Structure 1
């Protein structure tokens, strides 16, 4: 297992197209994830957690021990459900419990025992009878908004024929209620906010589009959907994070890179990686951690396959925005 990391210059020179370019050649940690996703920085513990959707695992890497092999600092929770994204809960020690996007909705995971309990199911959303879960669907990416609500997408579950049957849900943990925001979608991905909290971004991967919305900081309403960035390439935009200057760092599945997109929706830089299926990003200080998905033999070069499903990191010279906390009622 390779555990080396590559940290390039924080302010790299521009390429022939005027783009800033960071080159990453080795993984920070290679657990050979089936579908690595959802990296999340736990500031209090200085650790990074991320999920493996296919293998139904939550991994946590302790980042405190400088010079130690990352592989010796990993703890893993094995679940019996796909888990796509995690979030900290307001007023709850994340060492004990966190929120997870599981197959049927948002659940609370006890990290000590591995047990989880649903707090809101997708089947409870408006227009649904609340009686039966849709076995064809699972959760995908999402994030907590400034009002403490969980924006969480659903898509066709792994192993089934991909259809435009998913939705983007808004889940209020204090009311234990879910609301359908957008339907149908095929692969709904990351949700994020501008530094001033007035713009919401949402990536619809199969449409190769990052949508922008006007976000009302007072009410939490989103309106005025527009195309912020439309990707021109063979891959699909996957997960992203926003930095403190308002730039989006957008992973592209199938293109071995992360895009740096300006607040005006212009491509200004890219992180180049040694495997194709790049899934999501997360800031830890000025370092950008990047997850990836596994590949089978023949789907790429031997190196691309060997490093698929690995976790990468690179110093990009800017910090990311802090995540918001999920608000959850006790009842």
Structure 2
């Protein structure tokens, strides 16, 4: 077994008190960080040259689970939100939907579907995590919205893919909580997490067509900590993964063989997603789910954390918008 390097974070970079902090994303050209609070419907921004004092936020009327930059467009970014894919102005927060996820049929009342709550499928779903592949497609997973289904998460989730021509495809059905997704450095395999499974699965991937061999997946990582599940992850330039293990207070660095080689200890349990800004790893977190059982975790619940891990993140792909939205 390889030696496990240890990091310990004792206080937050910024105590944002997010309900569900997610999707830290480095706006490299601006050297700024943006991240979302899905539950409280906010987007946060920090100028990394100025530090925490530069923190600002957009208050939205819908949730955003994931964001990505757009190739050739410095004024806007694309996001996966409550109803589908949208584009938002970086300076004003003004937004517009460019592709809804759900069909007209799925916008009709259906008796609550599998959870038995929510008038329509569109109402009881929301975007969660997402990533852009080497050819500029934006993959976003949708799941039951816990605020609508009262925590009754089912396998109604779908992994969507937005093509550069703004057409939308359903890539994988019957998922529960679609989370961390990425690709090997040679783009021959895709990693995908359905968090309740406790695993990250590695699938053969055709970068040219965007096809995934879902029937040929192999287990890559299983959370080794009892009660923990893999949430979001970030990949570094050496091909290793930094995986937030929700419910453990740990972010684990895992090599390409799936072995844990480093561990970051955070001062709250519900860590959700890491993201690189140079060699600094920023980590979002959520509100503690069991405050009476884990009172120590509540002090910095929902905060943003940072640690310099001495390795740079893998460059993030940009969405290649081939048609005007």
Of residues 155, 170, 178 in structure 2, which corresponds to 1:164?
155
After superposition, the Cα gap between the structure-2 partners of 1:17 and 1:201, relative to the gap in structure 1 and judged at 3 Å, is: closer
Q: Indicate if the aligned counterparts of 1:77 and 1:111 stay in contact, CA closer than 8 A.
A: no
Of residues 218, 222, 228 in structure 2, which corresponds to 1:230?
222
Q: Which residue of 1 aligns with 2:39?
A: 54
- Give the stretch that moved more between structures: 212-221 or 103-112: 212-221
Q: Does 1:181 align with 2:171?
A: yes
Q: State the Cα distance separating 1:296 from its structure 2 match.
A: 6.4
Of residues 155, 159, 163 in structure 1, which corresponds to 2:143?
155
Q: Does 1:326 align with 2:319?
A: yes
Aligned counterparts of 1:62 and 1:177: Cα–Cα separation in 2: 34
Q: Which residue of 1 aligns with 2:113?
A: none
- What do residues 274-319 of structure 1 show as CA deviations (whole Å, max 9, x unaligned)? 1000000011111111100012683454442010101111111111
Q: State the number of aligned residues.
A: 306
Q: Which residue of 2 aligns with 1:145?
A: 133
**Runs of 4+ in structure 1 displaced over 6 angstroms?**
none
Aligned counterparts of 1:101 and 1:259: Cα–Cα separation in 2: 26
Q: Does 1:38 align with 2:17?
A: no
Q: State the Cα distance separating 1:231 from its structure 2 match.
A: 2.1
Q: Indicate if the aligned counterparts of 1:165 and 1:184 stay in contact, CA closer than 8 A.
A: yes
SS of 1:88's partner is: strand
Q: Does 1:91 align with 2:72?
A: yes
SS of 2:267's partner is: coil
TM score, norm. by length of structure 2 = 0.89
Structure 1 residue ranges without an equivalent (≥5) = 1-15
TM alignment of 1:185-196, pairs within 5 A: 185-196=175-186
SS of 2:297's partner is: helix
Superposed CA RMSD: 1.9
SS of 1:206's partner is: helix
Of residues 206, 209, 216 in structure 1, which corresponds to 2:206?
216
Q: Which residue of 1 aligns with 2:97?
A: 118
Q: Which residue of 1 aligns with 2:249?
A: 256
Q: Which residue of 1 aligns with 2:303?
A: 310
TM score, norm. by length of structure 1 = 0.87
Q: Which residue of 2 aligns with 1:5?
A: none
